[in-house]
Structure 1
Amino acid sequence: MKNNPSIRLVFSIIIATTLNLKTYAQKAFHAPIGSNNEQQLTGKFEANWESLSNYEVPEWYRNAKFGIWAHWGPQCEPGQGDWYGREMYKQGSRVYNWHVENYGHPSQFGFKDIIRNWKAENWDPEKLVALYKRAGAQYFFAMANHHDNMDLWDSKYQEWNSVNLGPKTDIIERWAQAAKNNDLPLGLSVHSAHAWLWYETAQQSDHEGPLKGVSYDGTLTKDDGKGTWWEGLDPQALYAQDHSLSEEANDIATIHGQWDWKNGASLPSVAYSENFYNRTIDLINKFNPDLIYFDDTALPLYPVSDAGLKIAAHYYNQNMKLNDGKLNAVLFGKILTDEQKKSLVWDVERGAPNEIQELPWQTCTCIGNWHYSEDYYKNDRYKSAKDVVHTLIDIVSKNGNLLLSVPIKGDGTLDDKEIKIVNQIGDWMEVNGESIFETRPWLVYGEGPAVETSNPISAQGFNEGKIKFGSNDIRFNQKGKILYASIFGIPEQSIKIKNLGKSSENALKIKKIELLGSNEKVKWKVENDHLTVEKPNTAPNEVALVYKIYQK
């Protein structure tokens, strides 16, 4: 058979055909955004990683260190926590059971109806942003849309938006005005690129019981709306489910392994990608945000579409145009390669790396659940102000920033426990903020038991809370000739700092030491293998003590 020319010819044709099909599939896999969409502003940056790698993180962001995030939208209305709009369609889940009991079966009352119920009747953006600023926030973030695919502004390309439905107001416009009034840079978070996968539960059905096989409302079309409250609206503009399911879509957890559009994920259409591109460009053009957060691996829809690359290039070029050629914008992405970290800021979700990072980065986390959860309130599950401050100190010591979400109830207010936590953060920051803002990492980020314990990042991050900080843990950062040494809590005895001993390669010539927030004279002595600092008679706070070390 090896020497038969006819057979060889047949095999050659088969191989060539297979390669052509593979090439076609790859081209289809990477769906380009057409020229008939929102115009991409040209300039220094082009829509490719090589060009985007010319990005430099602006100094204002490196100095800011701390931002607060209003991760708020219609999923906060039920008060049942994050990913409500996905899990309400999974029979047997806690959220499904709660939804059926409180609203009815999801074939009749779906997430579109949750949107209708959400009124945000007590929302006061000015009051909230002022509270965040008082807590020490140096920038403010608002969520522009989530995986639930509802736009929270007067969107040109999504009829399911907060002006047409629910609160019937331009939420982002009002957040933006509040940020401006409080002189805070505006950040916007965009999560809707994954609605295609995220809502796949909405096109499924019960697997048992009297409504077994009855499709949930994710398959409804515009024609089905005649005579309903949503007549004239197209549910597919919200749910985006006119497509085949991803592999293993019956397993609600499979999506986590398909977040980068691999492992059997159903691939988005060109029309879907173009709609996301247009909506995001529209958002950028309307509000000129200082920061944009994408809840995506690398960039939105990458690598199945060039939409994310084009959005990034447009955003940088537009920002430079608005700032007389200076780039002041900050763009975030997750699970970045070393090369991609040169193009945008690496965001670590609910976690932190174990070392100082050469490039600035950010942790995003929340004091509770990402969307408001009554359970967190009732069962005292919020992070304390002490936990938040410890997280912030650790992150800043490693060249990072902290973006903190404080969940907002559906009506637009914070609960009393959250307000107390935010104010307690502000109390600590008022005295100790100088050790955070405008600082840079020192030669080492810290010492103590937590430094000596391995705590690797998993996927997007997710390693926070696995190691508890104690009063033997110390973190460093610096500002000019000032070194700040932060102690996690109140020490039980004298503090011994190994990195400042005479024999340490990091030893300093110390002029004096002060304890922020205290008038007590600090007693200290440099010994061969450590610096000894006597514990104060009265601690200025119970959260974290900060020693200000002056060099000669």
Structure 2
Amino acid sequence: MKNKFISTLTLVSTVLCTSLCASLYASATFANNHAPSTTVPFTSETLEKYAAPDWFKDAKLGIWSHWGPQAVPRIGDWYARFMYVPGTPQYEHHVKHYGHPSKVGYKDIIPLWKAEKFEPDALMKLYKEAGAKYFVSMAVHHDNFDLWNSKHHKWNAVNMGPKRDIVGDWKKAAQKQGLRFGVSEHLGASYSWFAPSHGYDQFWPLNGVGYDGENPEYADLYHTGKDKPYRDARTWYTDNPESQKNWLLRVTDLIDQYNPDLLYTDGGIPFGEVGRSLVADYYNKNIKNNGGRLEAVYNHKNIGSGEFILKAGVQDIERGVMEGISPYPWQTDTSNGDWFYNDNYGYKSSGQVIHMLTDIVSKNGNLLLNIVQYPDGSLPPESKRLLKEMAAWIKVNGEAIYATRPWKIFGEGPTAAAAGHFKEEDNYTAQDIRFTTKNDVLYATTLAEPAGQIKVLSLGKNSKLLDKKIKDVRLLGYSKKLEWRQEADHLLVVLPEKMPTPFGSSLKISF
């Protein structure tokens, strides 16, 4: 049965598609590696033909809405799982505020998510002003609740909760602002992730009393199989063919209804051939919808779950960065606070986010930034402040960010950046500098606010990195000429008393 099902999945649509290749400029800057072909469609075996489209390589900054019913309790990420795990803060909070999970479970949290102050047009305007070139809507988290008008799952936002098409409303707002639109699916892990909902209490007086996940009335929310509840929480992805088919149907429906420019999977490619066939189908449909040109981005992670194929899409690193320049475009996903709203969680400062963006771009990456929302859909003051301060900074320094490519080295400075998942550096100094390039111009951006002067050690007269003489040095956002000189071992730039922007500044260097 499983083999028959999987073999059927390999019959993906045979539309015209693109054959792509990655290449570098001879000067070590990164070239346009989008070379279209119209001969062979993608299949699950030929995903490594993929190369990221120009729009993504130029965009650099996306904003994400990692938002849904799990925001309601205001206690952060993974609520739907941990509310069924005694001893966790989520369990204690749930029992205190809602009741015991044998009677009041996650099914009862969902109707409390009303999104009554959700104004996607107003939010998208703020996101564009803050510098976003693409926007990603969560479509379904591990909680198995679809945020669109799902054809294959009754537990969705149109049927219950806010009773509106959240994904569709986000897409309309993004299109009005001229932003590319993406969706994130976290469903693949849900079939194992939700296993605690089938557990039972281990304490008197309810010892042995099963949670509401055991109730067959809610089997489609809590992943009850045909024969018995699915309880295997040993792995991120299930090997249950029934669950894999459910994932395929729902994510395919998501793609077909919204034709997203970007599809993000929270992990590696799920379910082997099943997942690879879906990615190939996604690419082929995108090519058909874009007149023979591939404009799609598929994000997946090298994180020990599922299948990671570097050239099959765009690698995503969760709350972390690359150690150095990657020859392939990549993406960091992170949040300015907790993933879902949390009363007790801190927020990143504007400086931290801007420095992270600058570092990532210098290494050929993009930043996908979740902006925390209240359960009702409005923004906390910390999110509003970040967007306002990012807008002011990007208005001046965006030239050094957008449509740039890495230079011969990503940067210099005393701070060694953390690398890998869940490693975020926030102790940069004004001596930490990141390089980007566009046409014949080199940009050098500091990762803190400099004062007095800047010494760029990589740009001295004796530097082996330079094959041309420096002709001029400008400061973005400053109209007057600067005093500068090129010494043997550094470029010295004297700065104005008042800098154009806080958090960091960009030198524009021409040759």
Both proteins in one fold, TM over 0.5:
yes
Instruction: Provide, for residues 454-484 of structure 1, a one-character-per-residue CA deviation record: whole Å limited to 9, x for no partner.
Output: 7342xxx11113x511111000000011110
Question: Is 1:245 matched up with 2:212?
Answer: no
Give the CA deviation at 1:493: 4.6
- Gap runs ≥5 in structure 1: 1-26, 223-234, 250-254, 262-266
Partner of 2:32: none
1:270 to 232, 241, 244: 241
Structure 2 Cα separation of the partners of residues 33 and 515 of structure 1? 57
Task: Give me the TM-score of the superposition, normalised by structure 2.
Answer: 0.90
What amino acid sits opposite 2:260 in the alignment?
P
Question: Is 1:282 matched up with 2:253?
Answer: yes
Structure 2 Cα separation of the partners of residues 371 and 479 of structure 1? 37
Partner of 1:455: 418
The structure-2 alpha-carbon separation of the partners of 1:529 and 1:205, relative to structure 1 and needing over 3 Å to count, comes to same
Question: Is 1:42 matched up with 2:14?
Answer: yes
The alignment partner of 1:374 has SS state of coil
2:283 to 316, 320, 324: 316
The alignment partner of 1:140 has SS state of strand
Structure 1 Cα separation of the partners of residues 208 and 110 of structure 2? 25
8 Å Cα contact 2:443/2:507 also seen in 1? yes
Partner of 1:164: 159
Give the CA deviation at 1:532: 1.1
Partner of 1:294: 265
8 Å Cα contact 1:473/1:487 also seen in 2? yes
What amino acid sits opposite 1:320 in the alignment?
I
Partner of 1:468: 427
Structure 2 Cα separation of the partners of residues 415 and 168 of structure 1? 23
Rg larger for: 1
Partner of 2:487: 527
The structure-2 alpha-carbon separation of the partners of 1:112 and 1:244, relative to structure 1 and needing over 3 Å to count, comes to closer
What amino acid sits opposite 1:471 in the alignment?
A
The alignment partner of 1:514 has SS state of strand
Partner of 1:189: 184
Structure 2 Cα separation of the partners of residues 101 and 38 of structure 1? 49
Give the CA deviation at 1:39: 8.2
Partner of 1:514: 474
Structure 2 Cα separation of the partners of residues 171 and 289 of structure 1? 14
8 Å Cα contact 1:38/1:282 also seen in 2? no
1:485 to 423, 435, 444: 444
Question: Is 1:419 matched up with 2:384?
Answer: yes
Partner of 1:325: 292
Give the CA deviation at 1:336: 7.3
Instruction: Provide, for residues 515-545 of structure 1, a one-character-per-residue CA deviation record: whole Å limited to 9, x for no partner.
Output: 1112342111111111111232211122111
Structure 2 Cα separation of the partners of residues 159 and 339 of structure 1? 31
Instruction: Provide, for residues 375-431 of structure 1, a one-character-per-residue CA deviation record: whole Å limited to 9, x for no partner.
Output: 23xxxx111111111000000000000000011111111112211111111110111
Instruction: Provide, for residues 350-377 of structure 1, a one-character-per-residue CA deviation record: whole Å limited to 9, x for no partner.
Output: 000111000000000000001111223x
Give the CA deviation at 1:187: 0.5
Instruction: Provide, for residues 83-142 of structure 1, a one-character-per-residue CA deviation record: whole Å limited to 9, x for no partner.
Output: 000010111111110111110011111111111111111111111111101111000110
Instruction: Provide, for residues 27-48 of structure 1, a one-character-per-residue CA deviation record: whole Å limited to 9, x for no partner.
Output: 96x784464x898423344442
Partner of 2:274: 307
Output aligned runs, 1:82-481, within 5 Å: 82-222=77-217, 235-242=218-225, 243=229, 245-246=231-232, 258-259=235-236, 261=237, 267-297=238-268, 299-301=269-271, 303=272, 306-335=273-302, 340-376=309-345, 381-450=346-415, 453=416, 455-457=418-420, 461-465=421-425, 468-481=427-440
Instruction: Provide, for residues 314-352 of structure 1, a one-character-per-residue CA deviation record: whole Å limited to 9, x for no partner.
Output: 110011111111101111000079981111000000000
The structure-2 alpha-carbon separation of the partners of 1:187 and 1:120, relative to structure 1 and needing over 3 Å to count, comes to same
Provide the alpha-carbon RMSD of the alignment: 2.0
Q: Percent identity?
A: 42
Structure 2 Cα separation of the partners of residues 504 and 339 of structure 1? 38
Structure 2 Cα separation of the partners of residues 126 and 272 of structure 1? 36
8 Å Cα contact 2:63/2:371 also seen in 1? yes
Give the CA deviation at 1:546: 0.7
Structure 2 Cα separation of the partners of residues 336 and 344 of structure 1? 15
The alignment partner of 1:483 has SS state of strand
Give the CA deviation at 1:490: 2.3
Task: Give me the TM-score of the superposition, normalised by structure 1.
Answer: 0.84
